[in-house]
């Protein structure tokens, strides 16, 4: 059941009114300060192999979700546990509204509990994940990878081989669930990309802010494309609508470079699965190539990378697709990717501050140059 803003707000206020420390596994804290030693032992501990004997909370990190590290003190036998957890939660009303109305909270919790064990990919693993469908409160406890991996940002240089690894991970995901009957069974809780986009555009204000953000980013947008600003949003709506008539799979849907990390042996890994939904793989393909690579590298490699992805998709269980069709899907989906960042540059006042301005401008520059280079407005 999808909740309205008024329902989420009322549920949040009722929950806050009875806030208390948590101890039992089925309980979800309302703030990191409500976590107790008993709760940690009941959620991630294992008394047969040693206990957590203490913990400390790291600095607060508020954004789309509430994030915090939890340093654990372990007894001598608890060698199976990490010394630190990375926690992300929806403790604030803005987080619950932004991530709850489009189904993102449930999607990410169920990814870690149900889908992650099925996928042979480099991605984080959760020690515990739970959400309350009536209030949209949630918490996920991940193994803290700080110091073990490098988290990417808009300044990270991605090699052609690393770009291929990104595409292999996505092809594994897309191939496994390509036109699977589970999409309308066990995975039916996932929104379609069309619904996910529409809810976010309407309820989180991404629609009105997209044009404002586009115009605000004029300095980094090709002049030829900026002169066609009035055509960008209609093309975005057309690109989203195309998903309704194309084969579906599970898509990560938020594969910008900041959601990727690099392991100690230089392999790529994918995190932050809260935008997961059902849609066509073109969404992820366009989004990852257009944000991960500098404009020069994207121009040099994009067609070869698309050919590489198609081979990987077929090998992973997807259908054989011609390059011409894939090129069309790629160009069309650049608009949906852009629509995830122009509103972030100029957000609705009620939406949490999500990304640094320099990150938004760099990704907008890369995506708009891809749209211009490929004449994507002519792809419909």
Residue spans of the domains in the chain: they are 5-143, 149-378
Mean pLDDT, rounded, for 303-321: 98
At CA 125, angle to CA 124 and CA 127, rounded to 5?
140
Does the pLDDT value for residue 308 go beyond 90? yes
pTM score over 0.85:
yes
Which tokens in the block code for residue 134? 């009536």
The domain 5-143 is placed in CATH, from the list 3.40.50, 2.70.98, 3.30.200, 3.30.420, at 3.30.200
Per-residue confidence at 354, pLDDT binned at 50, 70, 90?
Answer: confident
- Distance between CA atoms of 110 and 39, rounded to whole angstroms? 21
Mean pLDDT, rounded, for 23-30: 96
Contact 101, 203 (CB under 8 A): yes
**Which pLDDT score, from 0 to 100, does residue 78 have?**
67
Closest CA to 106 of 143, 135, 80: 135
**Which pLDDT score, from 0 to 100, does residue 1 have?**
60
Mean pLDDT, rounded, for 348-352: 68
Sign of the dihedral through C-alpha 283, 284, 289, 292: positive
5-143 and 149-378 agree in CATH topology: no
Kindly list the distances between the CA atom of residue 266 and the CA atoms of 149, 176, 261, 273, 305, in Å, as whole numbers in the listed order: 9, 25, 9, 21, 19
Taking only the tens place, the pLDDT of each residue in 28-70 is: 999 999 999 999 999 998 766 568 999 999 999 988 899 999 9
Q: Which residues contact 147 (CB under 8 A, 6 or more apart)?
A: none
Q: What is the mean pLDDT of the chain?
A: 94
pLDDT above 90 covers a percentage of the chain that reads: 86
Mean pLDDT, rounded, for 151-178: 98
Backbone angles phi, psi at 146, to 5 degrees: -55, 130
Per-residue confidence at 348, pLDDT binned at 50, 70, 90?
Answer: confident
Does the pLDDT value for residue 306 go beyond 60? yes
- Beta strands across the sheet bearing 268-270: 149-151, 260-263, 268-270
Closest CA to 103 of 265, 345, 279: 279
Which tokens in the block code for residue 23? 């101890």
**Which pLDDT score, from 0 to 100, does residue 50 have?**
62
CB atoms within 10 A of CB 155: 9
**Which pLDDT score, from 0 to 100, does residue 295 have?**
98
- Distance between CA atoms of 327 and 214, rounded to whole angstroms? 24
Per-residue confidence at 193, pLDDT binned at 50, 70, 90?
Answer: very high
Does the pLDDT value for residue 191 go beyond 90? yes
Does the pLDDT value for residue 353 go beyond 70? no
Contact 366, 372 (CB under 8 A): no
**Which pLDDT score, from 0 to 100, does residue 347 have?**
82
CATH for 149-378? 3.90.1200.10
Q: Transcribe 306-366 into DSSP letters.
A: HHHHHHHHHHTTPPP--HHHHHHHHHHHHHHHHTTTHHHHS--TTSPP-S-HHHHHHHHHH
**Which pLDDT score, from 0 to 100, does residue 51 have?**
84
Q: Which residues contact 320 (CB under 8 A, 6 or more apart)?
A: 310, 314
Mean pLDDT, rounded, for 350-358: 78
Taking only the tens place, the pLDDT of each residue in 69-125 is: 999 998 876 678 889 999 999 999 999 998 998 999 999 999 999 999 999 999 999
Q: Which residues contact 62 (CB under 8 A, 6 or more apart)?
A: 92, 352
Does the pLDDT value for residue 324 go beyond 70? yes
């Amino acid at each position: 059941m999808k909740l309205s803003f008024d329902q989420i707000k009322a549920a949040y206020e009722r929950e806050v009114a009875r806030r208390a420390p948590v101890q039992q596994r089925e309980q979800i804290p309302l703030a990191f300060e409500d976590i107790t030693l008993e709760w940690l032992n009941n959620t991630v501990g294992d008394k047969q192999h040693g206990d957590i004997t203490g913990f400390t909370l790291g600095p607060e990190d508020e954004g789309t979700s509430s994030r915090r590290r939890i340093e654990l003190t372990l007894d001598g036998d608890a060698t199976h546990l990490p010394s630190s957890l990375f926690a992300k939660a929806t403790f604030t009303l803005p987080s619950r509204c932004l991530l709850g109305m489009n189904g993102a909270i449930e999607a990410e919790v169920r990814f870690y509990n149900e889908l992650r064990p099925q996928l042979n990919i480099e991605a984080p693993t959760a020690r515990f994940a739970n959400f309350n469908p009536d209030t949209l409160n949630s918490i996920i406890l991940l193994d803290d990878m700080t110091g073990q991996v490098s988290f990417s940002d808009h300044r990270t240089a991605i090699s052609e081989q690393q770009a291929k690894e990104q595409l292999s991970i996505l092809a594994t995901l897309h191939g496994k669930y390509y036109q699977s009957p589970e999409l309308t069974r066990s995975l039916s809780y996932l929104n379609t990309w069309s619904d996910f986009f529409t809810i976010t555009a309407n309820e989180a204000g991404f629609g009105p802010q997209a044009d404002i953000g586009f115009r605000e980013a004029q300095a980094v947008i090709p002049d030829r494309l900026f002169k066609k600003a009035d055509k960008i949003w209609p093309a975005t709506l057309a690109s989203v609508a195309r998903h309704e008539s194309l084969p579906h799979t599970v898509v990560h849907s938020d594969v910008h470079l900041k959601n990727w990390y690099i392991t100690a042996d230089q392999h790529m890994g994918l995190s932050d699965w809260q935008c997961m939904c059902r849609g066509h793989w073109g969404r992820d393909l366009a989004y990852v190539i257009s944000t991960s690579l500098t404009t020069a590298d994207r121009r040099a490699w994009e067609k070869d990378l698309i050919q590489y992805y198609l081979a990987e998709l077929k090998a992973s269980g997807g259908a054989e697709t011609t390059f011409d069709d894939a090129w069309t899907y790629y160009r069309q989906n650049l608009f949906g990717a852009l629509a995830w960042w122009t509103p972030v540059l100029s957000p609705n006042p009620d939406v949490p501050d999500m990304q640094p301005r320099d990150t938004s401008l760099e990704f907008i520059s890369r995506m708009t140059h891809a749209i211009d280079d490929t004449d994507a407005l002519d792809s419909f």
